[in-house]
Amino acid sequence: MKSTVKMGKTVKEAVDKALKVLNADEKEVEIKILEEPKNGLFGLIGAKDAVVEVSIIEEEETEKTVKSSPNKEETIFEDDITEEIIVEDTIIEEPVVEEIAMEEASELEEIPVEEFQAEDFNTQKAETFLMDVLDKMNIKADVESQYLEHSLSLKIVGIDERDTGIIIGRHGETLDALQYLVNLVANRHSDHYIRVSLDVNNYREKRVKSLENLAHSMARKAKKYKKNMRLEPMNPYERRIIHSALQNVSQITTTSDGDEPHRRVIIKYVKK
């Protein structure tokens, strides 16, 4: 039985997309609604597209269906029904680690998963969610996606400089928050975990180089003045970059100090 899974803001829209792909009309298919659409908070957070599976009915099955149910009713789409979403604040506590090896493990740990296909509708949900967010922010841009093994890379391109700054935020805080939300959307109600990375105009690559330059500059000062240098608070990913950049520098060690979100790297001078 030939079938396809499609998404849409309404059930009807999703079905229409599937019918177009299958080159069939509604009387020739079987429609299974996998997920009902939800508006979510402000039409954004928690919003869900409709997901349907549409299968072409084989000729023999069609004949049997006609004979047994000559007066079968047509499918009714309840597109106009909305559902109120109650959003509760969720506090996520993560263990704070001191050593670079522990921070690397925290950043790189992944849940074992089966190989997924690029057509998996959960990745489509992530892209749709991101485009909806940009639209709500009145930001004109395109999204390029690249599917890798167990991961999805999304890049925001074709965006002007001012809007790029809005998306990035202070030291990438807004970009990180948006990436977190996209990951939630991609993996909600899914048995196939994928890691979604989000970037805009190659910001993350530029940020890595900037942090590495900062690390070496502060290490030189620590040696020159023979004193410890405290950096500004950073997230675990950026702290790991600092640790890695200086792990082989003589007379220098690095540790992390403080509690999230004010945890920072201390570059320490060590006498010979």
The pLDDT tens digits of the residues spanning 155-176 come to: 999 999 899 999 999 888 899 9
- Asked if 47 and 129 touch (Cβ cutoff 8 Å), the reply is yes
Farthest CA pair distance, the chain: 92
| CATH 2.60.40.10 describes domain 205-269 | no
Residue with tokens 């709500």: 136
- For the chain, the structural domain boundaries read 3-68, 111-201, 205-269
Which of 44-53, 104-113, 199-208 has the highest average model confidence (pLDDT)?
199-208
Q: Which fold has domain 111-201?
A: GMP Synthetase; Chain A, domain 3 (3.30.300)
Which of 4-18, 25-39, 242-256 has the highest average model confidence (pLDDT)?
242-256
C-alpha span between 51 and 7 (Å, rounded)? 5
Q: State the sign of the Cα–Cα–Cα–Cα dihedral 269, 106, 245, 167.
A: negative
CA 258, chain centre distance (Å): 28
C-alpha span between 114 and 88 (Å, rounded)? 31
pLDDT at 112 over 50: no
Q: Which strands, in side-by-side order, build the sheet including 142-148?
A: 142-148, 151-157, 195-200
pLDDT reported for residue 46: 54
pLDDT at 98 over 60: no
pLDDT reported for residue 45: 54
